[in-house]
Structure 1
Amino acid sequence: MSLFSPIVTEFWRTQFANAALFHGDTTFTIAVNPELEEGSRVMVLKTTDGRGAAVLTPTMADRLGLAAGHDLTEATFRRKLAEAGVILNGADFVFYFSDGARQALTQEKPEAGVGQLTDQDGAIFSAFQSSASEQDLDDAYVELDHWAVFGSFDDGRLVCAASMYPWEDAPIADTGVLTLPSYRGKGHARKVVRAISRYACEQGYEPQYRCQTDNLASVALAKTAGLTLFGTWEVISPDSPD
Structure 2
Amino acid sequence: MFTAVVTDHWLPARAAHVPEEEAFVVVDPDLPANRAVSVVRMEGGPTIVAVSAGQAERIGLDDGETIPAVEATTRIAAAGVALNDPDHLFYLPVEEQEAVAAEGHGIHTRRLTADDAPAFADMVAAAPAHELDEAFVELDHWLVVGTFVDARLAAVGSMYPWGATHLADLGVITLPEFRGRGLARVTVRALSAEALARGYEPQYRCQLDNAPSIALAIAAGFRRFGEWTVIDS
Query: Normalized against structure 2, the TM-score is what?
Result: 0.92
2:82 aligned residue: 87
C-alpha distance in 1 between matches for 2:82 and 2:183? 36
C-alpha distance in 1 between matches for 2:37 and 2:207? 18
Question: Aligned runs of 1:69-88 on 2, under 5 Å?
Answer: 72-88=67-83
Which amino acid in the other structure matches residue 216 of structure 1? A
Which of 25, 35, 38 does residue 30 from structure 1 map onto? 25
Which amino acid in the other structure matches residue 81 of structure 2? V
C-alpha distance in 1 between matches for 2:8 and 2:73? 26
Q: Is the partner of 1:111 in helix, strand or coil?
A: coil
| Uncovered stretches (5+) of structure 1, i.e. residues with no partner | none
> Does the alignment pair 1:4 with 2:2?
yes
Q: 1:61 to 1:100 in 2, by over 3 A?
A: same
RMSD over aligned CA atoms reads 2.0
Q: Is the partner of 1:77 in helix, strand or coil?
A: helix
Instruction: Out of 59-68 and 45-54, give the one that drifted further.
Output: 59-68
Q: Is the partner of 1:130 in helix, strand or coil?
A: helix
Which of 140, 145, 163 does residue 145 from structure 1 map onto? 140
How far off is 1:71 after superposition? 7.2
Equivalent pair of 1:111/1:191 in contact (CA under 8 Å)? no
C-alpha distance in 2 between matches for 1:72 and 1:234? 18
% identical equivalent positions: 40
C-alpha distance in 1 between matches for 2:232 and 2:67? 22
C-alpha distance in 2 between matches for 1:202 and 1:145? 19
How far off is 1:68 after superposition? 7.0
How far off is 1:65 after superposition? 2.9
1:185 aligned residue: 180
Equivalent pair of 1:5/1:99 in contact (CA under 8 Å)? yes
Question: Aligned runs of 1:29-108 on 2, under 5 Å?
Answer: 29-66=24-61, 72-108=67-103
How far off is 1:72 after superposition? 3.2
Q: 1:140 to 1:34 in 2, by over 3 A?
A: same
Q: Is the partner of 2:2 in helix, strand or coil?
A: coil
Q: Is the partner of 2:67 in helix, strand or coil?
A: coil
Which amino acid in the other structure matches residue 155 of structure 2? C
Which amino acid in the other structure matches residue 124 of structure 1? A
Equivalent pair of 1:164/1:176 in contact (CA under 8 Å)? yes
> Does the alignment pair 1:131 with 2:129?
no
Count of matched residue positions in the alignment of Structure 1 and Structure 2? 230
Equivalent pair of 2:23/2:46 in contact (CA under 8 Å)? yes
Equivalent pair of 2:25/2:62 in contact (CA under 8 Å)? no
How far off is 1:183 after superposition? 1.3
Q: 1:162 to 1:25 in 2, by over 3 A?
A: closer
Query: Normalized against structure 1, the TM-score is what?
Result: 0.89
How far off is 1:52 after superposition? 1.0
C-alpha distance in 1 between matches for 2:25 and 2:163? 24
Which whole-Å deviations, capped at 9, do the CAs of 1:180-230 have from their partners, x for residues lacking one? 112112101000000000000111111111111111100000000011111
Which whole-Å deviations, capped at 9, do the CAs of 1:45-65 have from their partners, x for residues lacking one? 111114211111221122123
Q: 1:29 to 1:67 in 2, by over 3 A?
A: closer
How far off is 1:12 after superposition? 2.2
C-alpha distance in 1 between matches for 2:213 and 2:35? 24
| Uncovered stretches (5+) of structure 2, i.e. residues with no partner | none
Which of 194, 202, 217 does residue 199 from structure 1 map onto? 194
Instruction: Out of 127-136 and 111-120, give the one that drifted further.
Output: 111-120
